[in-house]
Amino acid sequence: MRFKKVVIVNPPSPPGYTANRDSMGGYGQLYPAGVNVAPPLDLPYLASYLAHKGVPLDVFEAQGLELSLHELVQRIRKSVQPDPRHVLVVVRAALCSLDWDLSACNAIKAGADAASIAIWGAVLPHVRNRVRQEPSLDYVIQNEPDETVYELVMGNPEETILGLSCRREGGWLESPERPFLRELDKLPFPKWELLPYKKYAIPRSSNAGPLAFLPMLTSRGCPFGCHYCPYPLGQGLPFRYRSPKNVVDEIEHLVKDLGIEYILFRDPMFSLRQDRVIEICDEIHSRGLNFKWKCETRPDCIDEKTLRAMAAAGCNGINFGVESAEMQIQKNVGRKPISREMIIDRVALCRKLGIKTFCFFIIGLPGDTAQTILDTIGFALRLQTNWVQFNAASPMIGTKLRDWAVSSGLTPDNEYSYRSSHETMMGNENLTKAQVQTLHRFAVFLQRYLLNRGGILKDETRPGLIYGIARNMANVTSAICAKFIFEIGRARYQRALSTAPQAG
């Protein structure tokens, strides 16, 4: 046994931000300081896997514990005693906070210099040159970390451990990638008891009231492979899924043992196998489990039968990736196109069944023009979803969108800096970065102040006649104002952008 103990770390957020290292396929996003904290799901999975194997460990989820970097280092320094040489500290990193996460590794090494430091995260295979500059790192874990870390702890020859890069005198030794685990039922349930799980709060768009909340995965991978999406990089293209019984066994544990009232399913494509979803819903109903939940999927991967089963099993929200109202723009980024009629039908059906919808759109994709972007914004207004989010096309490292942006001269080849998809990072072949930014800001203005209203009067689960009347009035007023402002903005931007210099 090479290491007698493992210390698993989710670092604090960078100063001035809240880091959600679980979002965007594990690449993460930075939000303003003070928003709800959510841990990366691979952290409790890793902790559970090692604990199940009998490996002694500590877990420091610094965000939930509200630890500063200094406080985190002090706790780790104490944890590695009395023999830090036989302790492995494993740190979760994300693209959105990469430089900060690496600086946290340096601080940990300075505070416990005899311990070995490893780092893992979905983006690491794509930033090898940057990561290897850090003298504090002894190991880099690629892809799913569970088996790799365990084999390292047990003392397997380093050159035989798949998915492991280790520092050698004068360089790095890198082994082949470890294939993604296919039989997910074999994994033990995440050991949330090792984390401050009671401090995690549900996003306001899911439920406005205070509910005991945790995220959960029932499947991994997405076979669609959209060019802008990092999920296939972090989880692979093959759709790997857990059996309905295994899924509901974990749900029952969360609800009955941990008192969880709301579950956010973090699957990239929850309803790809609709027969499996219906079996999960039937199992939830047969066990009498009472909780609310939300998932994410595509509008064309869910039908009325499945939606009705989901609503009956407690689903009260679905996130839909719409991205663009224009089917050709969807095709441009390798996305199987979805018609406007399909999207409208699914959103209307959810509304009928009492399922709230949250639709995502992307501004500035390849092929986008001022007209197609304005058409997408207008479509989002007419769709009348409960919540909406306009992201900017982000050429995240490792994605095909990034390759296209580099080859088109829209982003530098060696640039990995990224904070969130809420910031404009590039133009396209038709629009400059400044023009995309102008249109994105217009969309975000409508999103923030009119469509989402900062969450004001948006709780559709809150009882009371007066509140219901006020909410309905706010919805109508917001819709009218948004349409009015959009028409003014559309006329203005069509004139301005038609006479402005174009990209290319």
pLDDT digits over 322-364, tens only?
A: 999 999 999 999 999 999 999 999 999 999 999 999 999 999 9
Q: Would the pLDDT of 504 be above 60?
A: no
pLDDT digits over 219-265, tens only?
A: 999 999 999 999 999 999 999 999 999 999 999 999 999 999 999 99
Q: Are 302 and 278 in contact (CB under 8 A)?
A: no
Q: Would the pLDDT of 4 be above 60?
A: yes
Half-sphere exposure of 301 (CA within 13 A, CB side): 23
pLDDT, position 417: 86
- The reply to whether 5-174 and 201-499 are identical in fold is no
Residue 207: band (very low, low, confident or very high) from pLDDT cuts 50, 70, 90: low
Specify which residues 388 forms β-bridges with. 359
What is the Cα–Cα distance from 161 to 140, expressed in whole angstroms? 12
Between 468 and 270, name the one with better pLDDT: 270
Q: Once rounded to an integer, what is the mean pLDDT over residues 363-389?
A: 97
Q: Would the pLDDT of 290 be above 80?
A: yes
pLDDT, position 494: 87
Domain boundaries, the chain: 5-174, 201-499
Instruction: State the average pLDDT for the chain.
Output: 95
- Please give the CATH number for the structural domain made up of 5-174: 3.40.50.280
Between β-strands 139-141 and 116-120, what pairing exists: parallel, antiparallel or unpaired? parallel
pLDDT, position 503: 64
pLDDT digits over 90-124, tens only?
A: 999 999 999 999 999 999 999 998 999 999 999 99
Specify which residues 141 forms β-bridges with. 120, 164
Q: Would the pLDDT of 182 be above 60?
A: yes
Q: Would the pLDDT of 499 be above 90?
A: no
- Is domain 201-499 annotated with CATH 1.25.60.10? no
Q: Would the pLDDT of 36 be above 90?
A: no
Q: Would the pLDDT of 501 be above 60?
A: no
pTM to 2 decimal places: 0.95
Residues of the chain with pLDDT > 90, as a percent, come to 90
Q: Once rounded to an integer, what is the mean pLDDT over residues 33-50?
A: 93
pLDDT digits over 50-78, tens only?
A: 999 999 999 999 999 999 999 999 999 99
DSSP 123-189: TGGG-HHHHTT-TT-SEEE-SS-HHHHHHHHHT--GGGSTTEEEEETTEEEEPPPPPPP--GGGSPP
Q: Would the pLDDT of 203 be above 90?
A: no
